[in-house]
Amino acid sequence: SSAASDVYKRQQQTGTIVQVEFNPNASNQEVSDLLRSLDLQIIDGPAASGLYRLRIGASVTTPDETLDRLRQAEGVVRFAEVE
């Protein structure tokens, strides 16, 4: 495998994980747009509790910034916390 793909795989395995519960009234489009705008990838979920596990992308400066933006999206996100 190439060095670039090795770095990519490592980023995928080591990115910070956040747990998020979406507002049940949020549309799929709203959720999708939010995930794209924050460079988040769903890696698991929803769990029985309704939580999704999301990986923060490499383009994000800090997990705290991502959490702040998730929590500001009140109509879309009900709960967000770093795992």
Q: pLDDT for 33-56, tens place per residue?
A: 999 999 999 999 999 999 999 999
> What is the distance between the alpha carbons of residues 64 and 48, in angstroms, rounded to a whole number?
26
- Residue carrying the six token digits 């698991």: 44
Among 32, 68, 23, 26, CA closest to 50: 23
Chain segment 2-20, per-residue pLDDT in tens: 555 554 454 445 679 999 9
Give residue-wise pLDDT tens across range 54-80. Answer: 999 888 778 899 999 999 999 999 999
**Amino acid identity at 21:** E
